[in-house]
Structure 1
Amino acid sequence: MLDKFVAWAKDTAGTLATQVRKYRNRDFLEAAIAGCAMVAAADGVIAPEEKRKMMGFISHNDALKHFDAAEAIALFEKYAGHFQFDPLIGKGECLKAIAPLRKRPEEARLMVLVCCAIGTADGCFDANEKQAVREICAALEQNPKDFNL
């Protein structure tokens, strides 16, 4: 099952960069980075290694590198900080940042794909990360089955 999902994610990743370029706006960036933080915090802790890995992913991922790296990293730190203060507040702040895309289904779908790419970045999309993406799907009124979740 995981191998099937990883293969699907790799196939999808090829088109992410092109699609993200179409939605180069603040709402999309904010939602994508909030989603990244939510997936990173899925196990309850954003370890320093996870921060570095996530920041590197944001800076070097073909889909996200079209945004200013310093701005993306600052946003990630902001949302990660909310989780460090209180996990419920962190989740709430991320979902609040994600919510504006609900009314823009194409962007919402793409943002979920970015979160899936984040979840599979280390080759292991664990149950906690999948659950975080399912919650993001619910907030965006997207069907998790469309993303093999």
Structure 2
Amino acid sequence: MKMFQSLSLLPRIVSPFRKCYSTDLISLVGVPRVKITKGQNRYLLVNIHTHGFTKYGRVIVRGADVENHLTIFDSILEELEPQGICAKILGGGRILNETDSKKMKIYGTSRTFGSADHTRTRNILQSWTTYKDFKITVKN
């Protein structure tokens, strides 16, 4: 009888692992963490996750030389929605990307989405191999 009671708990134990290693979640790994252009950028800090798995997300940085942050958000949705990936904006700001002198400055805020955590953005940029050697300054 105790064995049957123990076996009844098995689905509760296995379920979190099955969710964690779902093939849907593997598609998040294929999304690049950083996409920004040279020069002056508006950027968004975005938490992405597959539909229904909000616990297992990933934070990405997207930036471009555009008129407003909504344009970046629209391009993010165009990129991610066909893959079944949802996006939640954590905030925005500006990045001055000087690739020639290997310097970056992260500052400002988005009128639409509010201010991003610039320190977190810097950490993500420094973890990306392209910007590993850059001197990145943050101004809040």
Query: Whose Rg is larger?
Result: 2
Higher strand share: 2
Higher-RCO chain (CA-CA 8 Å, sequence separation at least 6) = 1
Q: Same fold (TM over 0.5)?
A: no
TM-score scaled by structure 2? 0.31
TM-score scaled by structure 1? 0.30
Higher helix share: 1
